[in-house]
């Protein structure tokens, strides 16, 4: 028999080496540690049975009240939310269309998306049978280009809120105005934009009809949950097109335990003191910066801005750097036995960073020690 008494024991008997996740909520590296409030609620919800649509309705209403938006529902991750968004845009509350998807060639199934809003997960929008109409180019997009792409085949306009998606994109308010003037919904993906907590209401307030967030990133709910927030009409369409109904999203079901878990996580998240949290992250990341700042060729500083949702230790290898590229630093950090993941894999950026979201105070010191060692060893290699 396996020994299930601790995570370490489970991994040991499978021959899998655990890592320290100093790269933030990256799914490949297990996302985040679900907060205790979420795990408690999940355990508590093992016992009772419910009718799922009734439970989802009630939990969604409570989440909307806690956050302060008109309506909300629960999805299987933010990417599950993207699929539900476009299913809702195409089928709304029409039972025949809901049943027909993903066959959508005979109904409006086009999604207008800016070139700079294309990203790695965007095919999730297409799974209900939708197609993209891409507008603009890497230098930007004009409102006229969006407007001219609208036809009687258009189902929705897409908006992405994501770090490093480029400055050359239209603001959500402009897209909302164009969409609504043409009788179309505006669908926002803001999966990773929490914290700041103000973003929970920002894109709904700006007029997005449905906004998709990850439950397993900054909120630290169950890893495979997400939220759709929006107005009552569109949350109703979303629910009709989502699991557990026999829809195109049926493979994205969310258990009663996870529903209770994300509710508890949202409540705990909203009630936390964000300033206090930021002071702690800043102190921890400054301690990482202090350990490496004197290494020749290394620039490091604490950054908290649009591209860094919480304070990060951002590191750049400058002209005086004589070692290998940042990718190699990332690979060495990830080597066993003391495996540590830091965010080095955005190849197009000169910098990389340490993210404190998944680290205790002690773990930050372990990360800083290894990073100092790896950078020092690498600094003279050329
Ligand atoms: C993380 C992310 C997703 C996917 O979220 P999951 O909750 O893991 O499904 C989708 N879109 C963007 C922009 C993301 O950053």
CA of 1 to the centre of ligand 1 (A): 37
CA of 287 to the centre of ligand 1 (A): 29
Report d(CA 163, CA 168) in Å as an integer.
Answer: 13
Q: Whose CA is nearest to atom 12 of ligand 1?
A: 191
SS3 (DSSP) at 114: strand
| Candidate of 30, 77, 159 to mutate for ligand 1, largest count of ligand atoms within 8 Å of Cβ | 77
CA of 191 to the centre of ligand 1 (A): 5
Report d(CA 96, CA 101) in Å as an integer.
Answer: 9
pLDDT tens string, the chain, 382 residues long: the values are 999 999 999 999 999 999 999 999 999 999 999 999 999 999 999 999 999 999 999 999 999 999 999 999 999 999 999 999 999 999 999 999 999 999 999 999 999 999 999 999 999 999 999 999 999 999 999 999 999 999 999 999 999 999 887 778 999 999 999 999 999 999 999 999 999 999 999 999 999 999 999 999 999 999 999 999 999 999 999 999 999 999 999 999 999 999 999 999 999 999 999 999 999 999 999 999 999 999 999 999 999 999 999 999 999 999 999 999 999 999 999 999 999 999 887 888 889 999 999 999 999 999 999 999 999 999 988 6
198 Cβ contact list (under 8 Å, min separation 6): none
Q: Whose CA is nearest to atom 14 of ligand 1?
A: 191
Amino acid 345: pLDDT? 78
Amino acid 380: pLDDT? 84
Q: Whose CA is nearest to atom 2 of ligand 1?
A: 191
Amino acid 347: pLDDT? 80
Q: Which residues line ligand 1 (CB under 6 A)?
A: 27, 77-79, 121, 162, 189, 191-192, 214, 216, 226
Q: For the residues of 188-228, what is the DSSP string, one character each?
A: EE-TT--SSTTHHHHHHHTT-SEEEEESSSTT---TT-EEE
- Any bridge partners for residue 228, and if so which? 73, 212
Q: Is 98 buried (19+), middle (13-18) or exposed (0-12) by CB count in 10 A?
A: buried
| Candidate of 74, 113, 160, 192 to mutate for ligand 1, largest count of ligand atoms within 8 Å of Cβ | 192
Q: Whose CA is nearest to atom 5 of ligand 1?
A: 78
Contact (Cβ atoms closer than 8 angstroms) between residue 112 and residue 146: yes
Amino acid 44: pLDDT? 98
Alpha-carbon Rg for the chain in angstroms: 22
202 Cβ contact list (under 8 Å, min separation 6): none
Query: Residue 379 has which token pair?
Result: 């600094």
Contact (Cβ atoms closer than 8 angstroms) between residue 108 and residue 183: no
In the block, tokens 């258009």 appear at: 154
Q: Which atom of ligand 1 is nearest to the CA of 215?
A: 7
Pseudo-torsion of CA 236, 240, 241, 247, nearest 10°?
Answer: 180
DSSP annotation of 50: -
CA of 192 to the centre of ligand 1 (A): 6
CA of 78 to the centre of ligand 1 (A): 5
- In this structure, the strands spanning 308-317 and 351-354 are antiparallel
Amino acid 212: pLDDT? 98
SS3 (DSSP) at 149: helix
321 Cβ contact list (under 8 Å, min separation 6): 296, 297, 298, 379
Amino acid 151: pLDDT? 98
Measuring CA to CA, which residue among 320, 312, 319 is closest to residue 371? 312
3-state secondary structure labels for all residues of 259-318: HHHHHHHHHHHHHCCHHHHHHHHHHHHHHHHHHHCCCCCEEEEEEEECCEEEEEEEEEEC
């Amino acid at each position: 028999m396996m020994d299930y008494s601790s995570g370490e024991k489970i991994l040991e008997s499978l021959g899998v080496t655990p890592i320290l996740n100093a790269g933030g909520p990256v799914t490949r590296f297990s996302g985040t540690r679900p907060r205790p409030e979420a795990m408690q609620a999940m355990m508590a919800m093992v016992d009772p049975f419910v009718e799922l649509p009734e439970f989802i309705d009630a939990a969604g209403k409570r989440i909307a009240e806690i956050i302060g938006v008109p309506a909300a529902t629960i999805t299987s991750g933010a990417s599950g939310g993207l699929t539900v968004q476009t299913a809702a845009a195409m089928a709304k509350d029409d039972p025949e269309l809901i049943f027909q998807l993903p066959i959508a060639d005979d109904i409006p199934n086009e999604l207008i998306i800016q070139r700079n809003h294309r990203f790695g997960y965007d095919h999730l929008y297409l799974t209900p049978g939708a197609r993209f109409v891409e507008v603009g180019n890497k230098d930007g997009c004009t409102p006229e280009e969006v407007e001219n792409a609208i036809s009687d085949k258009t189902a929705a306009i897409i908006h992405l809120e994501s770090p490093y998606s480029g400055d050359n994109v239209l603001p959500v308010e402009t897209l909302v105005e164009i969409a609504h003037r043409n009788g179309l919904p505006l669908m926002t993906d803001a999966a990773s934009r929490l914290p700041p907590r103000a973003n929970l209401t920002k894109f709904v307030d700006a007029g997005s009809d449905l906004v998709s967030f990850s439950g397993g990133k900054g909120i630290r709910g169950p890893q495979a949950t997400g939220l759709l927030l929006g107005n009552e009409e569109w949350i109703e369409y979303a629910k009709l097109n989502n699991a557990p109904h026999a829809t195109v999203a049926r493979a994205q079901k969310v258990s009663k335990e996870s529903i209770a878990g994300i509710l508890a996580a949202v409540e705990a998240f909203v009630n936390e003191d964000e300033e206090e949290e930021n002071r702690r992250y800043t102190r921890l990341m400054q301690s990482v910066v202090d350990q490496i700042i004197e290494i020749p060729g290394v620039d490091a500083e604490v950054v908290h801005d649009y591209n860094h949702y919480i304070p990060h230790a951002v590191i750049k290898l400058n002209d005086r750097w004589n070692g290998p590229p940042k990718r190699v630093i990332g690979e060495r950090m990830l080597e066993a036995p003391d495996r540590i993941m830091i965010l080095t894999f955005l190849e197009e950026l000169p910098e990389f960073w340490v993210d404190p979201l998944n680290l205790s105070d002690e773990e930050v010191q372990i990360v800083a020690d290894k990073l100092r060692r790896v950078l020092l060893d690498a600094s003279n290699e050329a």
